[in-house]
């Protein structure tokens, strides 16, 4: 059975992906750079949150812009063509407005 995605699915999905990815990457970079100097503690968490606050506003629009090309490239790597109903960041938002 075909199920329609909610109107703001891509917006919420890419927001979550950007939050998880930017959070994970900023934590690893912060931990690697500061753990030897500061150890694992409150200061490290505060520095990570600062880094995450800087990274997320960059990650979210990048995820929105890059995702259509990433989807096309993925289908190409799989040697298949995307189904006509495959969601993309641009078509899902504009078709249901």
Residue 74 has pLDDT above 50, yes or no: yes
Alpha helix (H) ranges present in the chain?
Answer: 9-38, 42-77, 89-95
Residue 87's pLDDT band (cuts 50, 70, 90): low
* CA 17 – CA 3 distance, rounded (Å): 22
Mean pLDDT over 61-80 rounds to 87
The model's pTM: 0.65
Q: Return the DSSP state at 88.
A: -
pLDDT digits (tens, 9 = 90+) for 5-44: 788 888 888 889 889 999 999 999 998 888 777 777 788 8
């Amino acid at each position: 059975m075909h199920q329609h995605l909610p109107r703001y699915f891509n917006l919420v999905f890419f927001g979550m992906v950007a939050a998880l990815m930017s959070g994970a990457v900023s934590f690893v970079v912060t931990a690697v750079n500061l753990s030897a100097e500061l150890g694992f503690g409150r200061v490290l968490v505060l520095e990570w949150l600062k880094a995450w606050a800087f990274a997320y506003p960059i990650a979210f629009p990048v995820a929105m812009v890059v995702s259509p090309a990433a989807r096309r490239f993925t289908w190409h790597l799989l040697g298949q063509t995307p189904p006509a109903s495959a969601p993309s960041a641009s078509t899902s938002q504009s078709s249901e407005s």
